[in-house]
Structure 1
């Protein structure tokens, strides 16, 4: 062990101990710190101990350890637990790789657990406003990035398997904004999910409209088609089904949305038209991914498929990236694990259909189109799984509140009977 490590290790342990103490003493401070790291700390910031631990993973583990709370388990929890157990079994049987298993547990299951617990320690409105606030800050920085053509986050040195997620990407004559998310698609999709939380803040209507305008502007600056589709879908669904949005906010967001479409659609049409082969090739690539379906096994990874040819298509074309979350899970772990994830998403859709509308459920359900067009890259994956756990927790909380109201309404008449008889 080097001298520098001998000095830094005790300091790191002391800092971690202080952080855990502060996190335990103040759950709200815990969530603020977690949201700060989620939106404003790049995925390549972390430490390598055995394998790479991203900053968001370390903060999430610390949040769980310091704010552990009992929760009422649901069907969704059983699905996630079974998925996590299957991943570990497949790794033990050498049917899944170490890197894929680590990603599934640390970047997917662990954020889900934090999402399930957070409402037991932090009020839902505080969670909503914190996410909305940090998303707005991230969006402002993305707009500045687009305006200046410079991303300051890439100047932060990284460690582990990458110094940064990927190089900055152009589209037509513009540089796509990506903020701290390392990729324009990850930024666009994450801000799209956060838009539901802005509408759930109960802030004054002008503040909501301004925040959404900045977020939509940042998604436009990402030039991510998935981000554009899902932010429009998320805002529209939120306006229709989310309770608690003030009438003035609904009105101004609706009017502002129509005006924004009139400006944004022609601009984006020109950009994607100028992008030509680059944008078209990206779409063709995603449709070609379905050639890989024949490689999926019932359990475990699909093996060495990259050198094969299916229907005249060389599968090595897709080796660098599989931009389809559901297909990628199937390729890494098999049909049964991906069916468990699909069942989890069905639970959220059913919760929404039966009137359990909340920002988290709306955010995840409106991302369903994205799950067939992008992998769970950078913080986007952790944010999506956190919101999935939060959606389950929020729906369970709504069920408990409704059951309590039902019991109270049944007991109230019986409690009034002696009073009524005394005056008869």
Structure 2
């Protein structure tokens, strides 16, 4: 046995032992599982991971371990039509890959990366109060936002210095992005839009937390501030939209007075932010304008979507570079989903968003459902990149689980209690 082979074997054994230790810790408590998952999502960049056949970022590894650790609770979960739709999409995509209609990387992303986060969000409410989960998200993303503000003020990102390495993933995501003359904050998320959009998810969740109104408001201020210094229009819009939708449609746990006050404050803050940062976007000139133009030009790809599988103009060059038509990347999650898997799976996903919108309009939506709907602008302006993909699909799983719980509770409240035998006889005689 060569020294290189022995070293590789020892590394594999060490990695397996670490995974077993982490898994044992996650099994001890669902709260520990959520805390560890949030910590890795928020503070471990995508370039920290391990390649085993495919590349597994640290947050994907923890998503898988956390979801598996909670599998014994599956018997307590109330399943819904939405679960059936997600499983149907996964089966269709796997079948597409089996017959060569889609890519291995796309299938891996949906089944493993997104699927593990969705499953974790779907089953965790069987053992934890949703409001505790919202509160945990509020705490972690308040810290993320505070670090983003510090990054902006100091002009340095510790995650690209202290946690830098020479992997291909770092080369892809490790560079910082300017907007005009200002360096955009991105935290550990590898991209300013991923940071801003993730904070947008957290904003709506924070509205459902169990903290006192003043503390909740302070956390929201931090989260919105973090989205602002990302200088991502998508991040700022989704954060504001999440708060506004919660003020308009979320009945519990917010009082009418608090919702009215927050709505006025959110609109005033939006106006102040627009006035403050408009010079930055004007200074960025062609960069910001070109970004918007590029996203509008992507719409021409809709005509190439097939019922199933890859788009008609999907090509792979000799050096493994993927392109769709003249575009080397597609910053539109819904469009890219259709171009990769076809319009049939896309319609199923859109159907879930339509149903969620119905709950919102009837004022029955949970904070997680509102968080997902508030991401609508992001779904057409950014792909599922870095940790944002896991944050979004965890929120989607949490949206399904909390809405099922809310519907069950509402059904119990609306079901009349059975009358005593004597009263029932009197009632029937009358």
TM-score in terms of structure 1 length: 0.91
Residues 1:5 and 2:8 aligned together:
yes
Does the 8 Å CA contact 2:313/2:325 hold for their aligned counterparts? no
Residues 1:36 and 2:32 aligned together:
no
Residues 1:353 and 2:375 aligned together:
no
SS across alignment from 1:52: strand
Does the 8 Å CA contact 1:46/1:160 hold for their aligned counterparts? no
Tell me the distance in 1 between the aligned counterparts of 2:257 and 2:208: 13
- 4+ residue stretches of structure 1 with deviation over 6 A? none
Deviations 1:380-407 (A, max 9, x none): 1111111111111001101111222334
Deviations 1:244-266 (A, max 9, x none): 12456435534533442343111
Match of 1:244 among 222, 229, 253: 253
Structural mapping, 1:11-410, within 5 Å: 11-68=14-71, 69-70=74-75, 71-155=77-161, 156-158=163-165, 161-164=168-171, 165-242=173-250, 243-246=252-255, 249-250=258-259, 252-305=261-314, 317-319=326-328, 321-407=329-415, 409-410=416-417
TM superposition shift of 1:292: 1.2
SS across alignment from 2:55: strand
Tell me the distance in 2 between the aligned counterparts of 1:261 and 1:295: 38
SS across alignment from 2:383: coil
SS across alignment from 1:72: coil
Q: Are residues 306 and 272 of structure 1, via their aligned partners in 2, closer, same or farther at CA, if it must alter by over 3 Å?
A: farther
Tell me the distance in 2 between the aligned counterparts of 1:326 and 1:299: 15
- Aligned-pair RMSD on alpha carbons? 2.3
- Residue of structure 2 in register with 1:311 after alignment: none
TM superposition shift of 1:335: 1.1
TM superposition shift of 1:137: 0.6
SS across alignment from 2:417: helix
Q: Are residues 315 and 111 of structure 1, via their aligned partners in 2, closer, same or farther at CA, if it must alter by over 3 Å?
A: closer
Does the 8 Å CA contact 1:205/1:246 hold for their aligned counterparts? no
Query: Unpaired segments of 5 or more residues in structure 1?
Result: 308-313
Query: Unpaired segments of 5 or more residues in structure 2?
Result: 317-322
Q: Are residues 101 and 368 of structure 1, via their aligned partners in 2, closer, same or farther at CA, if it must alter by over 3 Å?
A: same
Tell me the distance in 1 between the aligned counterparts of 2:181 and 2:262: 30
Q: Are residues 394 and 289 of structure 1, via their aligned partners in 2, closer, same or farther at CA, if it must alter by over 3 Å?
A: same
Deviations 1:326-382 (A, max 9, x none): 110111111111111111212222222333222110000111122111111111111
Tell me the distance in 1 between the aligned counterparts of 2:178 and 2:326: 21
Deviations 1:235-286 (A, max 9, x none): 1111122221245643553453344234311122111111111100000000
Does the 8 Å CA contact 2:187/2:195 hold for their aligned counterparts? yes
Size of the aligned set, in residue pairs, is 412
Does the 8 Å CA contact 1:136/1:214 hold for their aligned counterparts? yes
